[in-house]
A = this chain, B = another copy of it.
């Protein structure tokens, strides 16, 4: 089966939109999705940014929030802005999402985290929130946190972020089909079509 890699960061606004859309768009095209959580922080740091570019460049930030609102509206997605300073810290959620890949609950958990951040005004860096979301996905929170915090899983997230960088990824969401890179929710359909071939 043709496959697309979906690279996302839990703090990223437009990653929310793609995370909620990709399963259906890919299924319609007969394309399988590999869910690849990674961290934008280390990548931004290499670009010289210690914060989201949407905070560093206020004009870009103002525009993004307005555009993001229109895009969610057009996609029929609820949007309630996050309760804490943007961007939220998605490290714990990313470790959990990665830990859930073998057991197969990554996609469900990923959608739950994005909904919590952008539709339910929750703090996704908070353990209690994450435990509740795992529970909602029928995943045992104790086991999930244990797997997430295992040294091999922490290392795997580091390696995944390095792989993203090596593929030329500089933002999220991104999609890759082999060496072909697509950046941004606006490119989801193009990327799926490319995967379909």
Contact = CB atoms under 8 A, between A and B. Distances in A.
Interface of A is mostly: helix
B183 A186 contact: no
Contacts of A47: 57, 59
A168 B59 contact: yes
Q: How many protomers of this protein does the assembly include?
A: 2
Nearest to A170: B59
A16 B117 CA distance: 37
Given A47-B57, A57-B47, A67 B170 contact: no
Given A47-B59, A63-B181, A67-B187, 16 more contacts: A47-B57, A57-B170, A59-B168, A59-B169, A59-B170, A60-B170, A62-B168, A63-B168, A63-B170, A63-B183, A66-B181, A67-B182, A67-B183, A70-B190, A74-B190, A186-B186
Interface of A: 47, 57, 59-60, 62-63, 66-67, 70, 74, 168-170, 181-183, 186-187, 190
